[in-house]
Amino acid sequence: MHPAFLVAVAAVALAGCDGEPVAEQRGSDPQLPAPHRGLLPDMAIPRPAAWGSDLPTVPQGYRIQAIATDLRIPRQTLVLPNGDILVAEGAGGNAPALRPKDIIAGYIKSLGKTSVPGGNRLTLLRDADGDGTYETRGAFADNLNAPYGLALVNGVLYVANQDALVRFDYRDGQTEASGPPTKVTDLPSAINHHWTKSLAASPDGRFLYVGIGSNSNITERGMEAEVDRAMIWQIDAETGAHRPYATGLRNPTALAIQPGTDRLWAVVNERDEIGPNLVPDYLTSVREGGFYGWPYSYWGQNLDTRVRPQDPEKVAAAIRPDYALGSHVAALGLAFSSQAVGPQFTEGVFVGEHGSWNRTEPVGYRVVFVPFRDGRPAGEPIDVVSGFLTGDGNARGRPVGVSVDPRGALIVADDLSNTVWRVTVSR
């Protein structure tokens, strides 16, 4: 059955649904509505549109510029010690559709994506004279398998492909890898409903943390497909030995270590199909041995009645996340800020919100700043990079990874316009 026909059927089914008012559950104590299930979830995705002469919107006193265009699906970035920027380019996943609604959802999501194939490479950008123009661009490493997470520690560059964690030796100023990567350990890659593998390194370089998403929305493929899924692994960098560090995280799409501490933080994409205003994607510190609810419950002990069999003990143990970002914003980027970015953004995190597909009123499609106080989230998120949506409901870009340059620049990967953006204080 052709996807376009199924989409037409979906439109008819949705036309009779009572839409919920637009609401974004954000902050440490979000007010969650009752679950709402229908024949099909609300679905609408902005179509790609060109930037033309326009630019994303940034706060007063800041400017934004494109430092690389015509990339091949840039996902995450890493600022190297000499100021060079590595860009992971690629797209993965091979999960077959289970239900007619999966075919519909897949088709609708494809309408909001770039037509460019993934690069399966790391691209290096260099601004040799420090004027903000990255005049050198080349392939640092290619023939990778949907690279996503990046980390550099103790002279070793780690890359999380969709099927393995690999490493390269790195010298400051190097413009290309000296050889093929060395495998640290395999990563779960069967089905790969959620293929992205996020990555962070402990400050001493002893451990790597890899976020591994679930193989379904809510266990539609059975629990056997979820072995080693919906969790964060802790990996010994020397031996590749690994163990679950935290579990019950449906799709931990970005990880970061809080500066000055060993505390791991994550942004997590939550489940779908119980309403446009459930469940909030979230930002949270990650406790060793902690369980965060998926699939049995959400936002602490809110029971998901779709899961069979239930597990009351797991629900009782579920940890409530630190901070709700809003339902379906699709947070894919996370970076701690610094004083160099400016007084308004001294303490807190930047979050790249890729944007929704499963609600009629789009949310996300921006980079926000979540302010911290005394090391914890405190206050409303602030729009930092916006304007990705047009007035007629199309999208000119979709933010993914975010990085903070020690010189004070915010680096944003945009996988729809295939651009890397740089935000700086106006001089």
Q: What is the pLDDT of residues 305-321, one digit of tens each?
A: 999 999 999 999 999 99
Write down all domains in the chain, each with its CATH number in brackets: 3-14+32-425 (2.120.10.30)
| Amino acid at position 359, single letter | R
The percentage of the chain sitting over the pLDDT mark of 70, rounded to a whole number, equals 93
165 strand-pairing partners: 160, 185
- Is it the case that residue 338 has pLDDT exceeding 80? yes
SS3 of 124, please? Answer: strand
Q: Which residues pair with 324 in a beta bridge?
A: 27, 282
Task: Determine whether 373 is exposed, middle or buried from the number of CB atoms within 10 Å of its CB (0-12, 13-18, 19+).
Answer: exposed
Q: Bridge partners of 157?
A: 152, 168
pLDDT in tens, 218-229: 999 999 999 999
Q: How many CA atoms lie within 13 A of 41 on its CB side?
A: 28
**pLDDT (average), residues 83-110:** 85
pLDDT in tens, 248-301: 999 999 999 999 999 999 999 999 999 999 999 999 999 999 999 999 999 999
User: pLDDT (tens digit, 9 = 90+) per residue, 140-167?
Assistant: 999 999 999 999 999 999 999 999 999 9
Higher pLDDT, 358 or 378: 378
Residue 146's pLDDT is what? 98
Average pLDDT over residues 337-359: 95
CA distance 377 to 324: 10
- How far is 102 from 94, CA to CA, in rounded Å? 13
DSSP assignment letter at 264: E
